[in-house]
Structure 1
C-alpha cells in the first residue's frame, strides 16, 4: 500500500465508489446531494496541501514522505494545527465529492482514505521521522494532534 501515494488512493477510492454508486442506481441519502456545499468542500481543502507544500519548499526539504532523507522537520504553517494537513485536505476533498454526488456509497471513499492514511501511511512516516529527528519529533507529537 505504501507504493501508491495517498492522492492515488483517493482517486482509486472515488472512482470505485462512483462505479458502485452507478451500479446501484445512485442511491441518495436524504437531503443530498448538495452540489454547492459539495463543490466547496471538494475544492477548498486543497488549500491545505498547497500551503503545506509551500512550507516544505521554504524549509528546503522534500515533500515525499518516503524519501530516505528529509532536511527539516516542518512545524510551521498548517503543521501548527495538524500533523497531516495534506492528508486532511484529501479526506475533506473526498468527503466534499460524496456530498456533491449524494449517493451513500460515495461516503465510503473518505472513510477508506482515512483508514489507509491513518493506519498504513502515517505510522510508517511517523516511525521514519522519529528515527530521523528523535526527541524533536517526539516534542512535536506531544504538541500537535494527528488530525485536528
Structure 2
C-alpha cells in the first residue's frame, strides 16, 4: 500500500442518493398521480420482499467483510486494506449493488414506476460522485494490486 491517506473524498453518503431517488419517484407518483406498475399487491409483496432480502444480504455481505478486515466502510475515510474475498470476488461494489437491488424491491412494493424509471439516474450519480472517486483513491492507495483486481472483477457484477 502506498501512503494514500486522503480517502476517496466522497462528500455525500451514498445511501442518501438511493433514498433521494426513491423519495423523488414515490413523491412524483403521489403528487402527479402517475401510472403505477399495475401489479397486484401480493405479487408486489413477494417480488419486492424477495428483492429487498437479496439486496440486504448483498449489502451486508460486503459490509461484514470490511468490518472483519478492519478497514473503512465509509467512502470518505481511508482504507487500511484492499478487500477482494467473499462477495468481492464477484462485484467490486457489493454495498452499492445491494442498495440498488433493495431500491428496486422497495419501488416494486410501493408500486412506483417513477422510482424505477429514476434508477438509472441514481446509478449514474453513484457512479460519477462515489464510485469514480473511490476507484481513483484505491488506485492511488493500492496501485497495481487494485488495478489487477479491477481487471478480474466487474464494477457491478
What is the aligned-residue RMSD (CA, Å)?
Answer: 1.8
Pairs within 5 Å for 1:44-123: 44-67=54-77, 69-123=78-132
- The residue aligned with 2:6 is none
Pair 1:7 & 2:15 matched: yes
Q: 1:117 to 1:29 in 2, by over 3 A?
A: same
Pair 1:41 & 2:51 matched: yes
Give the SS at the match of 2:18: helix
Give unpaired runs (5+ residues) of structure 2.
1-9
Q: 1:101 to 1:74 in 2, by over 3 A?
A: same
Distance 2:96 2:75 in 1: 12
Give unpaired runs (5+ residues) of structure 1.
none
Distance 1:64 1:31 in 2: 37
TM-score (norm 2): 0.85
Pair 1:145 & 2:136 matched: no
